[in-house]
Amino acid sequence: MTLPEHHAQLKREGRYDEMVEAKRQRAEEARRRAVEWRRAEVPLAEELRAAGFAVESAWDLVNTSTPYPAALPILLEHLQCAYPDRVREGIARALAVRDAKFGWATLVRLYSDEPAGSDAKDGLAVALAAVADDDVIDEVISLARDAGHGESRILLLRRLKLSRAPLARAALEEFSEDPVLGQEARALLSGRGG
């Protein structure tokens, strides 16, 4: 069935106006949340601008290829503040650069404290995977083994693929049988992932 045919069917059934209204309400809710997030992020954006970064959001840093090492301490500080989940995710993802290694212990603590299923949890997993090296690969493996971290653990596996440590390969093989991690672990082991 094509989209016009589907719309015609909904009109015949008297459900088209409901669908249009529901779509309008979802768009309005998304706009409202975006405004809320932008408003909440003002203190971070102001501090970053004062430090010389022309940004409106941490997401502006996520989407740039220009290094921003002077912003990293500011981001790490603000990541520990009570921002909305989506804002904290953006801050965490902006910390997903090698230069943020100095914040490893804080990132691990925040990841461990963050409830599974949140956007911030995923952002923190991305940051941990980006800053980890073979010096902390055992901690990455330990975090990935902890089922309490939910599906965000999948995001840690790419670091294991990049590691030269034999225990990283062994962990990927172990994870290939895990119901949550298995598909990604098998893809990484076969060379299809990461």
pTM tops 0.75: yes
Q: What is the pLDDT of residues 96-139, one digit of tens each?
A: 999 999 999 999 999 999 999 999 999 999 999 999 999 999 99
Give the orientation angle of helix 72-79 with respect to helix 85-94, to 10 degrees: 150
Q: What is the pLDDT of residues 156-184, one digit of tens each?
A: 999 999 999 999 999 999 999 999 999 99
Residue with tokens 């249009």: 20
Residue 68 has pLDDT above 70, yes or no: yes
Averaged pLDDT score across all residues of the chain: 92
Taking residues 20-45, report their average pLDDT: 80
